[in-house]
A and B are shown apart, each in its own frame.
Chain A
Amino acid sequence: MLLFLLRRLGLMVLTLWIVSLIVFFAGQVLPGDPGRAILGNLASVQSVQILDHQLGVDRPLLVRYFTWIGGLLHGNMGTSYEFRSAVEPFVRAALINSLKLAALAFVIVVPLSILGGVVAALHAGRWADRLISVTGLTLASLPEFVPGIVLIVVFGVELKWLPVTASAGQGASIGSQFQHLILPAIPLVFVLFGYIARMARAGTIEALASDYTRTAVLKGLPRWVVIRRHVLRNSLLPTITVIATQTGYLIGGLVVIEYLFNYQGIGGLIYKAAVQKDFPMLEAGVLTIGVVYVLATLCADLLLMALNPRLRAGEAS
């Protein structure tokens, strides 16, 4: 058990280290000369050199990498090229905003997709199953802005039920914030619904075919008791893992959704940093996404272990 945890944490650190290498490579090696990128082609060689020196990017790559990674380990994510100040406050504020949006999407999608998956499994092979499965996979494969646009056109512009921007403004009430976040959350729900429902469906079908379900039916328990007590408890385990791995896709979608709805989240931060060629901000944002994903996966593993005694015993041996 302890060994498993240590192994798991070690792998997590390794993954994060490789992520940091990828981000460093893309953010600091590939762009070539950041000073030139910021000042443009018309700037003089001298002013580019001065700026490069100020930014510290004229040092050898290895020195830069160790300074950067050392800073990260002390909670210093770098200095924004654009704002000339530490990036953490920006990243923290953006992350909180994104978490609000993501939380709303999850609160809607988890019960909805589990319900969808279970209903599909109980009607396996019939039209309700086909409808849920095909709709789910289709919605999951559309880029988030496609349903986003349709939703804005229908509910924001034509019916005027909901606001078309996500930001409620400074000091807005919780109710108003919630109202502004409904439309942006729905495309995220669409993307996640298909995967989670498919997993819940597969788990339920497996549990329905198992011996303990047959025993429960044969000993005369009512159908809904069998489903609730014997089927659901077992079928939802694999679903938890999928929910956690989907956080990555959710956050990937945030860039597009936050841009479409003009929201100041981590996706919006990455987008603005990219346009301004503010590479430290961009790296910090992308790295934050990687950390969130890895932590979510870890949580899922721990949760799965806590819920499933067999797995606990299996990993320890």
Chain B
Amino acid sequence: MSDVTAEVTVSVPLAASAVPGRWRLLLRRPTFLAGAAIVLFWVVCAVFGSHFAPDSPLAQQLLLTNTAPSGAHWFGTDSLGRDVLSRVIVGSRDILVITPLATLLGTVLGTALGLAMGYFGGAFDLIVSRFVEALLALPAVILAFLFIVALGPSTTTLIIVIGLIFTPLIARTVRSSVLTERHLDYLASARLLGEKPLRIMFVEILPNVLPSILVEFTVRLGYAIFTVASLSFLGFGVQPPTPDWGADIAYGNQNAALQSGYWWQMLFPALAIASLVIAINLITDSIEQVLSS
């Protein structure tokens, strides 16, 4: 019996000591540093942007509508004479609030669900798996779109709907990680020690599947940005006049900005979205590489 307890207590410090070493490896990867720098830049813009943006993102100058990029307005102005650069800087705010919160919600719920599916198995696992399968038959953007049309767009609705849509998808990943842990000795020992299922799931299994949850979180964060930007572009995300990349592109599209040659009104917010998505991808890729090494 003493053997068993020793094994259980040893497994935790081992896992904990491995983590700082991995983080140091991460800091040595140029792709990770580049991604982190870009994300940090947009976080600074989201928090302090309204202080250093050249103009107010909402100020309309009706004598200066649709002006091309120039020294006075680096990114030009839109059809209401608002400074596009200022709107791009401050427009990072909502997407950087909504996407991490939605992903976090989905990850927390998905982890709990996935642990339960993997640990209990049986009918519960079967039913939830069928449900996940059905959800996969509808693309996330369409599913989110359907629910947000019904509920009406707001920041809270976006967070909850996207979080709930991600929940079964994340649960599926966590479930498969749990299944590989399920037959390992430390779980058998924990069960022999008479530990309760909840304790086994969250204290014994969770620390061991945490790396794959971390990867899943960053992957989903990328998808969340994709989804929120697409919804805003369709007019069911962040609502005007709040500056937002997707919504500003939609506004330009409604005014046929591209067809009229006012490309800067849509191109710059589009490049901002691209930079954020690529940065998240670089971070995800680095974490995956480090964890698999």
Q: In chain A, residues 134-150, which have Cβ atoms closer than 8 Å to a Cβ of chain B?
A: 137-138, 141-146, 149-150
Interface residue? B72 (CB, 8 A): no
**A137 and B139 contacting across the interface, CB-CB below 8 Å:** no
What residues of A have a CB within 8 angstroms of the CB of B134 in the complex?
Answer: 14-16, 18-19, 22
Q: In chain A, residues 281-317, which have Cβ atoms closer than 8 Å to a Cβ of chain B?
A: 282, 286, 289-290, 293-294
Q: In chain A, residues 18-35, which have Cβ atoms closer than 8 Å to a Cβ of chain B?
A: 18-19, 22-23, 26-27, 30-31
**B273 and A23 contacting across the interface, CB-CB below 8 Å:** no
A156 to B257, CA, bound (A): 13
Of the stretches B53-61, B205-213, B263-271, the one at the interface is: B263-271
**A145 and B137 contacting across the interface, CB-CB below 8 Å:** no
What residues of A have a CB within 8 angstroms of the CB of B226 in the complex?
Answer: 141-143
What residues of A have a CB within 8 angstroms of the CB of B278 in the complex?
Answer: 138, 141-142
**B142 and A137 contacting across the interface, CB-CB below 8 Å:** no
0/1 string, B252-272, CB within 8 A of A gives 1:
010000110101001100110
**A149 and B138 contacting across the interface, CB-CB below 8 Å:** no
Distance in angstroms from A152 CB to nearest chain B CB is 5
**B147 and A30 contacting across the interface, CB-CB below 8 Å:** yes
A100 to B141, CA, bound (A): 21
**B253 and A260 contacting across the interface, CB-CB below 8 Å:** yes
**B140 and A252 contacting across the interface, CB-CB below 8 Å:** yes
Q: A141-B226, A145-B270, A153-B258 are in contact. Are A15 and B147 (CB under 8 A)?
A: no
Interface residue? A91 (CB, 8 A): no
What residues of A have a CB within 8 angstroms of the CB of B263 in the complex?
Answer: 149, 153, 157
Residue of A26, A279, A294 touching B147 (CB-CB under 8 A): A26
Residue of A156, A164, A255 touching B234 (CB-CB under 8 A): A255
Of the stretches A79-87, A120-128, A197-205, A267-275, the one at the interface is: A267-275
0/1 string, B149-175, CB within 8 A of A gives 1:
111000000000000000000000000
**B234 and A256 contacting across the interface, CB-CB below 8 Å:** yes
Q: A142-B274, A152-B258 are in contact. Are A286 and B234 (CB under 8 A)?
A: no
Q: CB-nearest residue of chain B relative to A144?
A: B230
What residues of A have a CB within 8 angstroms of the CB of B34 in the complex?
Answer: none
Distance in angstroms from B44 CB to nearest chain A CB is 22
Interface residue? A238 (CB, 8 A): no
Distance in angstroms from B254 CB to nearest chain A CB is 10
**A26 and B146 contacting across the interface, CB-CB below 8 Å:** yes
**A256 and B233 contacting across the interface, CB-CB below 8 Å:** yes
Q: A27-B146, A141-B226 are in contact. Are A256 and B141 (CB under 8 A)?
A: yes
What residues of A have a CB within 8 angstroms of the CB of B281 in the complex?
Answer: 137-138, 141
**A31 and B150 contacting across the interface, CB-CB below 8 Å:** yes
Could you tell me the dominant secondary structure of chain A's interface residues? helix
**B137 and A14 contacting across the interface, CB-CB below 8 Å:** no
Interface residue? A161 (CB, 8 A): no
Interface residue? B110 (CB, 8 A): no
Distance in angstroms from B270 CB to nearest chain A CB is 5
Number of B interface residues in the complex (CB < 8 A): 45
What residues of A have a CB within 8 angstroms of the CB of B141 in the complex?
Answer: 252-253, 255-256
0/1 string, A239-261, CB within 8 A of B gives 1:
00000000011011101100110
What residues of B have a CB within 8 angstroms of the CB of A137 in the complex?
Answer: 281, 285
**A145 and B138 contacting across the interface, CB-CB below 8 Å:** no
Q: CB-nearest residue of chain B relative to A154?
A: B263
Q: CB-nearest residue of chain A relative to B228?
A: A143
Residue of A15, A152, A164 touching B133 (CB-CB under 8 A): A15
Interface residue? A36 (CB, 8 A): no
Distance in angstroms from A32 CB to nearest chain B CB is 8
Distance in angstroms from A74 CB to nearest chain B CB is 22
Q: In chain B, residues 108-133, which have Cβ atoms closer than 8 Å to a Cβ of chain A?
A: 130-131, 133
Q: Which of B137, B143, B151, B285 has the largest number of chain A CB atoms within 10 A?
A: B137
**B149 and A274 contacting across the interface, CB-CB below 8 Å:** yes
Q: A30-B147, A289-B142, A293-B137 are in contact. Are A145 and B258 (CB under 8 A)?
A: no
A251 to B147, CA, bound (A): 17
Interface residue? A64 (CB, 8 A): no
Q: A142-B273, A143-B233, A252-B140 are in contact. Are A164 and B258 (CB under 8 A)?
A: yes
What residues of A have a CB within 8 angstroms of the CB of B135 in the complex?
Answer: 22
**B267 and A145 contacting across the interface, CB-CB below 8 Å:** no
What residues of A have a CB within 8 angstroms of the CB of B150 in the complex?
Answer: 26-27, 30-31, 279
What residues of B have a CB within 8 angstroms of the CB of A23 in the complex?
Answer: 146
Residue of A19, A150, A271 touching B267 (CB-CB under 8 A): A150
Q: Which 3 pairs between the two chains have the least Cβ-Cβ distance?
A: A252-B139, A18-B134, A30-B150
**13 A–B contact pairs at CB < 8 A?**
A18-B131, A27-B150, A137-B285, A141-B278, A142-B278, A143-B230, A146-B277, A252-B140, A253-B141, A255-B234, A256-B233, A259-B233, A274-B149
- B interface list, Cβ under 8 A from A: 130-131, 133-143, 145-147, 149-151, 222, 226, 229-230, 233-236, 246, 249, 253, 258-259, 261, 263, 266-267, 270-271, 273-274, 277-278, 280-281, 285
- A interface list, Cβ under 8 A from B: 11, 14-16, 18-19, 22-23, 26-27, 30-31, 137-138, 141-146, 149-150, 152-153, 156-157, 164, 248-249, 251-253, 255-256, 259-260, 270-271, 274-275, 277, 279, 282, 286, 289-290, 293-294
Known: A22-B134, A142-B277. 9 other contacts (CB 8 A): A11-B130, A16-B137, A146-B271, A146-B277, A156-B258, A164-B258, A164-B259, A252-B139, A259-B234
